[in-house]
Structure formats: C-alpha cells, structure tokens
Homo-oligomer: A and B are copies of this chain.
Amino acid sequence: MYAQGWIGMPVEQIPTPALVVDVEKLDRNLATMADYLARVKTNIRPHAKTHKTPAIGHKQMRAGAIGLCCATVGEAEVMVYSGIPEVMIANEIVDPLSVRRAVNLARQARVLMIVDDPENVRNIGAAARQYGAMVDVLVDLDVGQGRCGARSLEALVELAREVERTKGIRLRGVFGYEGHVQFIPDRQERTAKGQDANGRLVRAAKELSGLGMNIEIVSGAGTGTYDIAGEFPGITEIQAGSYIFMDGTYQKLGLPFEQSLTVLATVVSRPAADIAVFDVGLKGISPERFNPSVQNCGTGAIEVKSLSEEHSVTRLSDAADPRPGDKMHFIPSHCCTTVNLYDSMFVVRQGRVEAIWPVAARRA
C-alpha cells in the first residue's frame, strides 16, 4: 500500500524498471474484442494467465466475458476469491494436492477442468465425491500443438466415456488450443492452419454429441487466431489473453489491438558514444522470443543488443543521444512472461499514474 503514494504522479517519476499499462489503450482493446465477438456471436473466456490481475479480470467480465481461463489452480483461487464467478483451469491438474485445491474451489465458484488421462479423471471424480463438489470437465484434444491433449479421436472418445462414467464430475465439452498457429505471420497461412485445427475440434465435438454425450462448450483460440476461431462454425468460445496488452510478437500480425503494456527503464550508463545501458534486464522483461524494442520519443533508433540480469545494452544510431537518467518505454516480445516478473503494475492515463494494480496471482 505504500506504493500508492505514486498515484497522480507523472509516469516518468516512478521507480524503474516498472510495469506500465496505458488504461485507455487497455479499455479500447477490451471494446474492440467485445464488439467483434458480439458481431460474430461467439463467447470469450479470456485467459487470466496474461495479466494475473483481478482488476483486469473484472474489466473483462464487465466487457462481456462468460468467465476466465486460468493456467494454474493458484490463479483460479486468486480470481475466485476476488469475486470472479466462473473459472476454467485450462491445463491438466494432476498432483493430489492440486486436485484437492481445484475441487474445493468448485464449492465456492463454478470450476471447469480439462483432462487428457483416464486415471486423472477418476482421481478428480474421487476428490469431487469426497468433498461434495460438482466439477465440470472438458476433454482436451491435441489439435496440432503437440503438448497435452488426446492424440486421436478414439482416445478422446474413451476419455469422454470415462468422464461420463465417473460420479462427481460432469462432461461439458471439448477443449483444443491451437498454440502452434498463434504466431504465423502470413495471414492466409495462419487462417488455413487455424481453420484446420478448429475443424478437428468441431468434428470431435460432433462425434461426441453424436454418441449422445453432453457437449455444450467447444473452446479454442488465442489472440493470434481469435477471429479465425471466432467465425468458425461450431466454436462456442475463445480463450484469448494477450489482446489486452499486445507485445512484440503479436504486433507483427497486424491485429486491431494497441500496445497497452510497456516496461519503463532508465538510462544508467553511457560508456561510449554509440552505447546506452538501461536498468532493465532478464529480471524485468522477458526476451524469450527476441529482444525488446525501445520506444524512443526523441530522434534516432535505440536497438537492444543484449540483456543481462538487470541491464539492457543498446546500440544507438547517430541521432540518438539519451542521457543517464532519461526514461524510456520498452516493449517485450512476450507480455505474459513479462507480467509474471512483477508484483504490481502502474496504471497510467494521459501520462499520470491513476492506480497501482496488484498482480495478485503472480506466483499463486
């Protein structure tokens, strides 16, 4: 709460490195997504792994989301205890403690889980009966990503049968995330591969329905495929997360969302004419796809050449001449893993701090 003393101050005065969100851009991103989905009549259950921040989860609910996706039981707990009425834990939950937590959470809110292993199904069912909770379950189909999920329709049918046989849990639908398609830069290729993945999921859903199973939910898609899945007949909801912030990776796709998230950093050294060192490194921005870019509001380009734990070493073009103490905004290549490095974010409107939001589910 001490940090709240920054509220009302110009963003340039906050301590760096700092996670900064432009709330006007964030709100426009929420509206852009909501308008689109209203038009195509598809639901969104936005992925809270991107922000881990209840204040943003509630903004998403007010913008029409039917619930949130979470990546871990801890995230789901934080969102439920902050008042979110329905969460889908969009990853397999296996170890006994985590299963116990997820099932107990289902006594406090609607909880959906995904499964890809029959024994896990039986364990979740046993826990649900033990604690007297009803858990909704989706069966997970690998639609080409090659991570979790049943690898064949036969395996998926077996899994769904196991869910139906198991007391204490209830089959609600199918789940399939086309993670391998999200970043394909060519729009045509992305569309083709996204439709292929969506097609596999929808065909599986129809197969299960045809067997008399209860398939209300057909869930897929991320920010890179939101409008491919959004218009694909049979997909009932999408799981996009990054659209609220954007990042260097998604910027390359020409999406209608604005870059609302940056990391503010300070020049701490100018050891040579063409080098500036900033105070943000691997502990303050994630460079796992490529190095961050720098929004230089002066003249000349500033290119990040390397990052160490607390430093970015940048190369300056002739015209660029930042001085020690100057502050600039960095754009990460991946928003989700960058947010995960911070306990709070500075919420800025028109250059002044309006709020500080706790990233409450950071390591929950």
Residues of A that sit less than 8 Å from B by CB:
13, 15-16, 49, 71-72, 91-98, 116-117, 119-120, 142, 146-151, 179, 266-272, 275, 277, 279, 282-283, 286-288, 308-311, 313, 324-325, 327, 336-337, 340-343, 363
Residues of B within 8 A of A275 (CB): 146
Please tell me which one of the listed residues B142, B270, B363 contacts residue A343 in the complex, with CB atoms under 8 A apart. Answer: B363
B49 touching A310, Cβ below 8 Å: yes
Known A95-B15, A271-B151; judge A336-B324 contact (CB<8 A).
Answer: no
Can you list 18 residue pairs at the A/B interface with Cβ under 8 Å?
Answer: A15-B97, A91-B311, A92-B268, A92-B277, A93-B268, A94-B324, A95-B266, A95-B279, A95-B327, A119-B324, A146-B275, A149-B271, A151-B271, A282-B337, A309-B336, A341-B341, A341-B363, A342-B363
A340 touching B341, Cβ below 8 Å: yes
Q: What are the 3 tightest A-B residue pairs by CB atom distance, in nearest-first order?
A: A148-B269, A92-B268, A94-B268
Closest CB-CB distance, A84 to chain B, in whole Å?
Answer: 19
B117 touching A324, Cβ below 8 Å: yes
Please tell me which one of the listed residues B271, B283, B363 contacts residue A148 in the complex, with CB atoms under 8 A apart. Answer: B271
CA distance A72 to B266 in the complex (A): 13
Residues of B within 8 A of A271 (CB): 116, 142, 147-151
B142 touching A71, Cβ below 8 Å: no
Please tell me which one of the listed residues B13, B96, B97, B310 contacts residue A72 in the complex, with CB atoms under 8 A apart. Answer: B310
Residues of B within 8 A of A336 (CB): 283, 309
A148 touching B268, Cβ below 8 Å: yes
Chain B residue at minimal CB-CB distance from A16: B95
Please tell me which one of the listed residues B142, B311, B342 contacts residue A147 in the complex, with CB atoms under 8 A apart. Answer: B311
A308 touching B147, Cβ below 8 Å: yes
CA distance A119 to B324 in the complex (A): 9
Closest CB-CB distance, A106 to chain B, in whole Å?
Answer: 18
A340 touching B283, Cβ below 8 Å: yes
Closest CB-CB distance, A50 to chain B, in whole Å?
Answer: 9
Chain B residue at minimal CB-CB distance from A339: B283
Residues of B within 8 A of A343 (CB): 363
CA distance A336 to B16 in the complex (A): 20
Please tell me which one of the listed residues B91, B120, B272 contacts residue A324 in the complex, with CB atoms under 8 A apart. Answer: B120
Residues of B within 8 A of A93 (CB): 268
CA distance A48 to B7 in the complex (A): 31
B71 touching A325, Cβ below 8 Å: no
Chain B residue at minimal CB-CB distance from A305: B146
